[in-house]
Amino acid sequence: MREFFYILLGYLSGSILFAKLVPRKLCHVDVTRAGEDKNPGTFNAFAAAGPLVGTLVLLLELGKGFFPVHMALGHLPPADPAFALILLAPVAGHAWPFLHFREGGKAIAVSFGALLGLLPEMRPVLLLAGFYLLFSLVLVVRPHMYRSVVTFLCFAAGCLRSALFPAWKLGCLGISAVV
Protein backbone atom coordinates (compact mmCIF):
# COMPACT_ATOMS: atom_id res chain seq x y z
CA MET A 1 0.00 0.00 0.00
CA ARG A 2 2.87 2.41 0.79
CA GLU A 3 4.34 1.69 -2.63
CA PHE A 4 1.13 2.83 -4.31
CA PHE A 5 1.16 6.03 -2.23
CA TYR A 6 4.66 6.95 -3.44
CA ILE A 7 3.84 6.09 -7.04
CA LEU A 8 0.73 8.30 -6.90
CA LEU A 9 2.60 11.06 -5.07
CA GLY A 10 5.34 10.99 -7.70
CA TYR A 11 2.91 11.07 -10.61
CA LEU A 12 0.88 13.94 -9.15
CA SER A 13 4.05 15.83 -8.22
CA GLY A 14 5.35 15.36 -11.75
CA SER A 15 2.06 16.64 -13.15
CA ILE A 16 2.70 20.13 -11.78
CA LEU A 17 4.27 21.93 -14.73
CA PHE A 18 6.33 24.54 -12.89
CA ALA A 19 8.02 25.64 -16.11
CA LYS A 20 4.61 26.66 -17.39
CA LEU A 21 3.08 28.00 -14.16
CA VAL A 22 5.91 30.04 -12.63
CA PRO A 23 6.80 32.19 -15.69
CA ARG A 24 3.08 32.80 -16.29
CA LYS A 25 2.50 33.98 -12.71
CA LEU A 26 5.71 35.95 -12.24
CA CYS A 27 6.37 37.33 -15.73
CA HIS A 28 3.07 36.91 -17.60
CA VAL A 29 4.92 34.75 -20.16
CA ASP A 30 3.64 31.57 -21.75
CA VAL A 31 6.76 29.47 -22.31
CA THR A 32 4.90 27.16 -24.68
CA ARG A 33 4.37 30.09 -27.03
CA ALA A 34 7.75 31.68 -26.50
CA GLY A 35 9.81 28.55 -27.08
CA GLU A 36 10.59 27.23 -30.54
CA ASP A 37 9.62 23.68 -29.58
CA LYS A 38 6.48 24.72 -27.60
CA ASN A 39 7.73 22.64 -24.67
CA PRO A 40 6.70 23.54 -21.10
CA GLY A 41 10.23 22.89 -19.86
CA THR A 42 13.05 24.42 -17.90
CA PHE A 43 15.09 25.52 -20.94
CA ASN A 44 12.15 27.51 -22.31
CA ALA A 45 11.54 29.03 -18.86
CA PHE A 46 15.14 30.30 -18.86
CA ALA A 47 14.82 31.57 -22.42
CA ALA A 48 11.43 33.24 -22.00
CA ALA A 49 11.51 34.49 -18.41
CA GLY A 50 15.21 34.99 -17.66
CA PRO A 51 17.80 33.40 -15.39
CA LEU A 52 16.16 34.17 -12.04
CA VAL A 53 12.81 32.63 -12.95
CA GLY A 54 14.57 29.88 -14.90
CA THR A 55 16.63 28.95 -11.83
CA LEU A 56 13.52 28.86 -9.66
CA VAL A 57 11.82 26.63 -12.22
CA LEU A 58 14.86 24.34 -12.38
CA LEU A 59 14.87 23.90 -8.60
CA LEU A 60 11.13 23.18 -8.54
CA GLU A 61 11.40 20.71 -11.44
CA LEU A 62 14.28 18.91 -9.73
CA GLY A 63 12.37 18.92 -6.45
CA LYS A 64 9.22 17.38 -7.85
CA GLY A 65 11.26 14.39 -8.93
CA PHE A 66 13.53 14.29 -5.89
CA PHE A 67 11.07 14.41 -2.99
CA PRO A 68 8.73 11.50 -3.83
CA VAL A 69 11.65 9.20 -4.65
CA HIS A 70 13.73 10.23 -1.65
CA MET A 71 10.75 9.94 0.70
CA ALA A 72 10.06 6.44 -0.61
CA LEU A 73 13.71 5.53 -0.12
CA GLY A 74 13.34 6.50 3.54
CA HIS A 75 10.32 4.23 4.05
CA LEU A 76 10.82 1.28 1.72
CA PRO A 77 13.72 -1.09 1.20
CA PRO A 78 15.80 0.06 -1.79
CA ALA A 79 15.46 -3.37 -3.41
CA ASP A 80 11.64 -3.13 -3.41
CA PRO A 81 10.42 -3.95 -6.94
CA ALA A 82 8.04 -0.98 -6.76
CA PHE A 83 11.01 1.37 -7.05
CA ALA A 84 10.86 0.96 -10.82
CA LEU A 85 7.46 2.68 -10.84
CA ILE A 86 8.39 5.09 -8.04
CA LEU A 87 11.33 6.36 -10.12
CA LEU A 88 9.21 6.54 -13.24
CA ALA A 89 6.15 8.22 -11.73
CA PRO A 90 7.34 11.87 -11.57
CA VAL A 91 8.80 11.62 -15.08
CA ALA A 92 5.57 10.15 -16.45
CA GLY A 93 3.60 12.81 -14.60
CA HIS A 94 5.60 15.55 -16.31
CA ALA A 95 5.32 13.93 -19.73
CA TRP A 96 1.60 13.19 -19.35
CA PRO A 97 0.25 15.49 -16.63
CA PHE A 98 -2.91 14.51 -14.77
CA LEU A 99 -5.22 17.34 -15.85
CA HIS A 100 -3.60 18.21 -19.18
CA PHE A 101 -2.52 14.82 -20.52
CA ARG A 102 -1.42 16.09 -23.95
CA GLU A 103 0.41 19.19 -22.73
CA GLY A 104 3.38 17.61 -20.96
CA GLY A 105 7.04 18.25 -21.45
CA LYS A 106 10.18 16.29 -22.25
CA ALA A 107 10.84 15.54 -18.55
CA ILE A 108 14.59 16.04 -18.60
CA ALA A 109 14.92 18.14 -15.43
CA VAL A 110 12.50 15.96 -13.47
CA SER A 111 14.51 12.90 -14.58
CA PHE A 112 17.58 14.37 -12.90
CA GLY A 113 15.46 15.11 -9.82
CA ALA A 114 14.13 11.56 -9.61
CA LEU A 115 17.66 10.17 -9.90
CA LEU A 116 18.90 12.60 -7.24
CA GLY A 117 16.17 11.15 -5.02
CA LEU A 118 18.26 7.97 -4.80
CA LEU A 119 20.86 9.80 -2.69
CA PRO A 120 23.24 8.78 -1.26
CA GLU A 121 23.53 6.59 -4.40
CA MET A 122 24.99 8.91 -7.04
CA ARG A 123 25.85 6.58 -9.93
CA PRO A 124 22.61 6.97 -11.92
CA VAL A 125 22.51 10.78 -11.82
CA LEU A 126 26.25 11.07 -12.48
CA LEU A 127 25.92 8.68 -15.41
CA LEU A 128 23.13 10.77 -16.94
CA ALA A 129 24.99 14.03 -16.30
CA GLY A 130 28.17 12.58 -17.76
CA PHE A 131 26.45 11.56 -20.98
CA TYR A 132 24.77 14.98 -21.27
CA LEU A 133 28.13 16.69 -20.85
CA LEU A 134 29.82 14.31 -23.29
CA PHE A 135 27.24 14.94 -26.02
CA SER A 136 27.00 18.67 -25.28
CA LEU A 137 30.69 19.56 -25.00
CA VAL A 138 32.90 16.83 -26.48
CA LEU A 139 31.00 14.84 -29.09
CA VAL A 140 28.46 17.55 -29.78
CA VAL A 141 25.13 16.20 -31.02
CA ARG A 142 22.69 18.69 -32.56
CA PRO A 143 19.88 19.52 -32.40
CA HIS A 144 19.05 19.20 -28.71
CA MET A 145 16.35 16.61 -29.38
CA TYR A 146 18.89 14.20 -30.90
CA ARG A 147 21.31 14.93 -28.06
CA SER A 148 18.63 13.91 -25.56
CA VAL A 149 17.81 10.73 -27.47
CA VAL A 150 21.47 9.67 -27.69
CA THR A 151 22.08 10.63 -24.06
CA PHE A 152 19.16 8.66 -22.70
CA LEU A 153 19.95 5.62 -24.87
CA CYS A 154 23.51 5.58 -23.52
CA PHE A 155 22.19 6.18 -20.00
CA ALA A 156 19.85 3.18 -20.32
CA ALA A 157 22.70 0.97 -21.54
CA GLY A 158 24.95 2.21 -18.74
CA CYS A 159 22.33 1.49 -16.10
CA LEU A 160 21.89 -2.04 -17.40
CA ARG A 161 25.60 -2.64 -16.95
CA SER A 162 25.77 -1.11 -13.46
CA ALA A 163 25.48 -2.80 -10.09
CA LEU A 164 22.16 -1.15 -9.22
CA PHE A 165 19.16 -2.92 -7.75
CA PRO A 166 17.08 -4.55 -10.51
CA ALA A 167 14.10 -2.26 -9.81
CA TRP A 168 16.34 0.80 -10.10
CA LYS A 169 17.66 -0.46 -13.44
CA LEU A 170 14.10 -0.98 -14.65
CA GLY A 171 13.14 2.50 -13.41
CA CYS A 172 16.08 4.04 -15.30
CA LEU A 173 15.02 2.17 -18.44
CA GLY A 174 11.48 3.51 -17.98
CA ILE A 175 12.74 7.05 -17.53
CA SER A 176 14.80 6.71 -20.71
CA ALA A 177 11.81 5.38 -22.63
CA VAL A 178 9.56 8.26 -21.51
CA VAL A 179 12.10 10.99 -22.26
pLDDT digits (tens, 9 = 90+) for 32-80: 887 677 788 888 899 889 999 999 999 999 999 999 999 999 999 999 9
pLDDT tens digits, one per residue of 111-142: 999 999 999 999 999 999 999 999 999 999 99
Residue 104 has pLDDT above 90, yes or no: no
**Residue 15, pLDDT above cutoff 80:** yes
**pLDDT at residue 151 is higher than 90:** yes
In sequence order, the 6+-apart residues with CB closer than 8 A to the CB of 141 are 135, 147, 150, 151
pLDDT at 16 over 90: yes
Helix%, strand%, coil% for the chain, nearest 5: 70, 0, 30
pTM: 0.93
Which 3 state secondary structure label does DSSP give 104?
A: coil
